[in-house]
Structure 1
């Protein structure tokens, strides 16, 4: 049991990566659309590239969205309006009219005229309530069909123009009085009916909507059917019109049948295989070409998290409305990876992510082509991300590439610009603007995952920072030495294509441990008194080597990134404090070399190897007397060759060719520093 636990502990990093791999795979598969994929690719207006296609099963030809929308519009325009009728209103109005008629008729009017007036009033009421009087004004067309309901029972039908609006009552009165030749009594009748007339119709909005919904529900979404083994399209035939609709119908039917209950597990298994294979390629790439990243679980988690996050966001957008897919700033992914790692890893991860997203988006070929091209442009154009102008220029170039590529696709598909969707260009511009969010995103990631980008390195390189100010005050000689080493290391890194900004920052902080005992280091001894004279060789060596441990403690206390602390740990490797070692050998016969050696580890990257060379060269160059170009060349060769012989660069991925290039840079720089001047007369 103990051996098993020890084995688990030794392999805990691989176990974690395995669990991360499995969980990410299932998460991405869960986000995928729940449907199969049609095995043929076709585009409207383009020839059919595959062999003759026969119907694999019976299926219905679905109507286009335009056809269904048109049918819905026709039903909506021809829909019937339903009004509830109140029969008691007409009876009530007639009763009140009979009672109040005598009040408006003068006694001086003859009996004959009075009878005519009474009949005219009855005619007005009959006309008003033939269909009914509306209580509100409705904005319906006059030729809109209507149905009057008396307790949900159809009583009358007609058109909306038959109904009397409130403002049309006076017109009905005028017409009736004219017909009877009694227009002179208009004022009396208008005032009478103004008080008498009440609306007896109310628009039943809910019932009307319900009936319309039932009618829309009866719309057939298919027009005709295709029998099994029927030829759908021949090879080379242009896919358009009815053929295109048949293919779209087959695709839809195929995907719905594939994702049936019986095949659910198999389709899910196939998706899982593809996603797992893609993520496995990423892990193999990291293990073969970026071993330092692969061995860091935080960095692997960071990479998988970003891929999953981008797929999740794209899924949300597609589910909401697929026309907005180009608003998602996919190019943020390679930008982020380039900021924390390098361009090669960023592009590789970007391509794999786009391939996975291809399962989600419509027109996947067009989408993947655009995004891969944009990702390549991102890697080629974005340099020195910490410079704001570079980011704005690169985002503009990326947006332009999107627009040009989309324009080309439209012309290829449609053959003209008439059907181009200009709003897509707005989505591209919005995507470009969203890409600018990469700067604050990098800052957030630095805090969440403890990573360091070039932006942070630029801030750390400021010599006015608190820690470097403290170094210059406590150990001015060490600070000056660090500045010289930083200049040499930066030039060397630029020569061989290493991270110049990282190695410069590492050089500035590599000796901060000397602040604890500054006077024990010769560059800080200004009084001529050497405190080592009072110590044994072993004690002196311990103080010298301890500046590495002290430096790591100070760095962690000041929250310096691990990438910078690596330079403090490795800048002496496992080399020996040679002066005190030889002094001890002269004093004693038996001396343990480990007591006079730095704790290490040895440099394990190009940048840390460069710092070791430059640190040794700069420190030792102070002992050069009457330097000449020949002396400088021999001096550089001797020191670096000794480091090679001691195996200090065995763990660093640096080549002999690169070391020779660094030697040339250092020789040139030292020659410039120690160049001879003519002696000016006093």
Structure 2
């Protein structure tokens, strides 16, 4: 039992990766659509390359989007609106008009013409309200039909038969003139205007409900293809009705309700493909990025990003497929490049795009656009912490999307007229969303405890609290750190290592000397040496302790682990040689391990660069009269000694790169000491 527990403990990192692999696969499969996958691509405008295709079952032919839009437009244009006719108003106006006659006309006129005037007014009011009076202006064509609602009855009436309020004056004037009442025109108009009011109102609710009912009853299919019927023959061009039938078959196939057995087989198929894709990613990391593979936090971060992109794309596709390109998929390679490297970022991006091919329609077009965009992202963004670079890269990514989309449209439609401008807007929105990568990287740093180049840029500021404290307490050490940082940055640039990381590591590598600054020669301002009163073993312990103190100070100030690694490894397992030799003068029987730094030795190119630069820069202060030849021999001696001690065995640095670093150190030291070319006498 104890052996099993020990084995479990030793392999806990591997078990975690297996758990993470299974969990990620399950989540992605859960998010994928569970319908069947149509096994043919439909190449519009091109010959059918597969065998002759026969209908596997009965299915309806779907109408095209253009046909449905045209049908909806026709229904909307020919739809008859509803108007309410208020009979109570018509009756009341008739009564009010007769009362107004007596109010407007003088008694002398009424004594003679009362009956004639009353009859004319009653008849005219009846004619006005035969089809009703409408307050609105002419909003419809004169010959258009409307439904006039009187109570529960609706009658079809021509729109021009209904009087509009703007027409009532002319209508009444003509009636008065024709009846021979021109002499009473002013009084009669006053009577009518004092009593007549609109009684026909547009019924928006009923009209809209009726229109929606008609639109909802539109059939989205036309005709049926029977099982066994030949759909298309090999070599036949996919266009027109053939294309619509194939599209209908694909839609029917993918939307079928599958039996439990079919469903289980689909899940198994998806699981195999998703697991295979993720396995390729793990194998890539194990072969080419072993330091990332062995770090469970970093593997978790990569898998989290894949799940995040799959989930985000699924949500957008379920909401509206037209917005699929708004998803800023290029954030994935940008994020991974910021924390790791371009090759891993691109490989992960391609794997993610392959998985998303199961979710989106027109998967080949989608995958082509996204893979090309990912390649452009990797090629164009060199220094993410520079805001201008990010904006330029986003512009280039958006341009590539647009160009690729236009090219696909030309291939599929045979002309450029069918390019949809609204798709360009989704590309622009997706580009703008990609700018969110900078705050997202900051969030990732806090959650996963990693460090990006943007954080390194902030840490490289010599006005930061910790570096200002170093400059105040140990000015000599601070000056030494600046020199080492310049050397390390130049060397890292030459061998394509992370120059920003090397510079930041160099700036902070000696912060432990703040605890006892006067015990280090660069901070001694007088001829008094603090080590004179100490034994060599005590002096050695103080010197070695600056590494431990540096780690404590760094953790207290929340420096990233990648920076603390420089503090840990910048002396490796080397010996404090001066005090070792001093002790050896008095005692031949000494343990060299008491004078050795605890390590570990450098385990990256950047930490190896720091060890070389730190040793060379510190020792160069002992040169009395430096010459070009002396500096060359001096650098060779120090670096070769570190190589002999095996300090670079774990740092993945080559002999060629070490030689390049030596050349950089020699040149920089000669510049520091302002050495000129030695001319022959």
TM-score where L is the length of structure 2: 0.89
Alpha carbons 2:28, 2:310 under 8 Å: kept: yes
Secondary structure in structure 2 of the residue aligned to 1:302: helix
Q: What is the distance in 1 between the residues matched to 2:581 and 2:358?
A: 69
Alpha carbons 2:498, 2:606 under 8 Å: kept: yes
Q: What is the distance in 1 between the residues matched to 2:631 and 2:110?
A: 140
Q: Which residue of 2 aligns with 1:342?
A: 341
Secondary structure in structure 2 of the residue aligned to 1:157: strand
Q: Which residue of 2 aligns with 1:129?
A: 129
Matched length: 678
Q: Which residue of 1 aligns with 2:157?
A: 158
- By how many angstroms is 1:544 displaced? 1.3
Alpha carbons 1:174, 1:186 under 8 Å: kept: yes
Moved more, 18-27 or 73-82: 18-27
Secondary structure in structure 2 of the residue aligned to 1:463: coil
Alpha carbons 1:116, 1:180 under 8 Å: kept: no
- By how many angstroms is 1:30 displaced? 4.3
Q: Which residue of 2 aligns with 1:378?
A: 377
Secondary structure in structure 2 of the residue aligned to 1:236: coil
Moved more, 514-523 or 483-492: 483-492
Moved more, 490-499 or 399-408: 399-408
- By how many angstroms is 1:548 displaced? 0.4
- By how many angstroms is 1:615 displaced? 2.2
Secondary structure in structure 2 of the residue aligned to 1:619: helix
Alpha carbons 2:397, 2:431 under 8 Å: kept: yes
Alpha carbons 2:81, 2:147 under 8 Å: kept: yes
Q: Which residue of 2 aligns with 1:517?
A: 516
Q: What is the distance in 2 between the residues matched to 1:531 and 1:370?
A: 67
Alpha carbons 1:78, 1:145 under 8 Å: kept: no
Q: Which residue of 1 aligns with 2:274?
A: 275
What is the 5 A alignment of 1:176-187? 176-187=175-186
1:420-466 per-position Cα deviation (integer Å, ceiling 9, x unaligned): 33444454444444444434443343344332222332333333433
Q: Which residue of 2 aligns with 1:532?
A: 531
- By how many angstroms is 1:122 displaced? 3.4
Q: What is the distance in 1 between the residues matched to 2:333 and 2:270?
A: 25
1:7-33 per-position Cα deviation (integer Å, ceiling 9, x unaligned): 655544444444444444444444444
Residues 298/109 of structure 1: CA separation in 2 closer, same or farther (3 Å cut): same
- By how many angstroms is 1:469 displaced? 3.1
Residues 630/361 of structure 1: CA separation in 2 closer, same or farther (3 Å cut): same
Moved more, 483-492 or 240-249: 483-492
Residues 398/548 of structure 1: CA separation in 2 closer, same or farther (3 Å cut): same
Q: What is the distance in 1 between the residues matched to 2:438 and 2:11?
A: 36
- By how many angstroms is 1:98 displaced? 5.7
Q: Which residue of 2 aligns with 1:449?
A: 448
Secondary structure in structure 2 of the residue aligned to 1:544: helix
What is the 5 A alignment of 1:139-178? 139-154=139-154, 156-178=155-177
- By how many angstroms is 1:407 displaced? 3.4
1:610-667 per-position Cα deviation (integer Å, ceiling 9, x unaligned): 2222222333344456656665555444433333333322222122332333334334
Are residue 544 (structure 1) and residue 564 (structure 2) matched? no
1:477-497 per-position Cα deviation (integer Å, ceiling 9, x unaligned): 333332333333223322322
Residues 424/122 of structure 1: CA separation in 2 closer, same or farther (3 Å cut): same
Q: Which residue of 2 aligns with 1:361?
A: 360
Secondary structure in structure 1 of the residue aligned to 2:41: coil
Q: What is the distance in 2 between the residues matched to 1:482 and 1:664?
A: 20
Are residue 221 (structure 1) and residue 215 (structure 2) matched? no
Q: Which residue of 1 aligns with 2:560?
A: 561
What is the 5 A alignment of 1:15-414? 15-33=15-33, 35-96=35-96, 115-134=115-134, 139-154=139-154, 156-257=155-256, 263-414=262-413
- By how many angstroms is 1:228 displaced? 1.4
1:28-82 per-position Cα deviation (integer Å, ceiling 9, x unaligned): 4444445443221124323323222221111111111221222222222222333
Residues 409/467 of structure 1: CA separation in 2 closer, same or farther (3 Å cut): same
Q: What is the distance in 2 between the residues matched to 1:197 and 1:463?
A: 88
Q: Which residue of 2 aligns with 1:501?
A: 500
Alpha carbons 2:476, 2:522 under 8 Å: kept: yes
1:544-583 per-position Cα deviation (integer Å, ceiling 9, x unaligned): 1111001111212222221111010011112222333344
Alpha carbons 1:79, 1:145 under 8 Å: kept: no
Alpha carbons 1:627, 1:674 under 8 Å: kept: yes
Q: Which residue of 2 aligns with 1:654?
A: 653
CA RMSD of aligned residues (A): 3.3
Q: What is the distance in 2 between the residues matched to 1:165 and 1:452?
A: 75
Q: What is the distance in 1 between the residues matched to 2:328 and 2:405?
A: 16
Q: What is the distance in 1 between the residues matched to 2:15 and 2:404?
A: 43
Q: Which residue of 1 aligns with 2:417?
A: 418
Q: What is the distance in 1 between the residues matched to 2:21 and 2:164?
A: 72
What is the 5 A alignment of 1:622-661? 622-624=621-623, 632-661=631-660
Q: What is the distance in 1 between the residues matched to 2:70 and 2:501?
A: 64
Alpha carbons 1:603, 1:609 under 8 Å: kept: yes
Residues 6/135 of structure 1: CA separation in 2 closer, same or farther (3 Å cut): farther
Residues 652/254 of structure 1: CA separation in 2 closer, same or farther (3 Å cut): same
Unaligned runs of 5+ in 1: none
Residues 633/83 of structure 1: CA separation in 2 closer, same or farther (3 Å cut): closer
Alpha carbons 1:606, 1:652 under 8 Å: kept: yes
Q: What is the distance in 2 between the residues matched to 1:73 and 1:673?
A: 80
Q: Which residue of 2 aligns with 1:490?
A: 489
Secondary structure in structure 2 of the residue aligned to 1:223: strand
1:220-276 per-position Cα deviation (integer Å, ceiling 9, x unaligned): 221111111222222232222111111111111111116677644443443344333
Q: What is the distance in 2 between the residues matched to 1:261 and 1:198?
A: 69
Residues 261/90 of structure 1: CA separation in 2 closer, same or farther (3 Å cut): farther
TM-score where L is the length of structure 1: 0.89
- By how many angstroms is 1:101 displaced? 5.2
Q: Which residue of 2 aligns with 1:591?
A: 590
Q: What is the distance in 1 between the residues matched to 2:127 and 2:673?
A: 117
Alpha carbons 1:123, 1:176 under 8 Å: kept: no
Alpha carbons 1:81, 1:144 under 8 Å: kept: no
Alpha carbons 2:104, 2:190 under 8 Å: kept: no
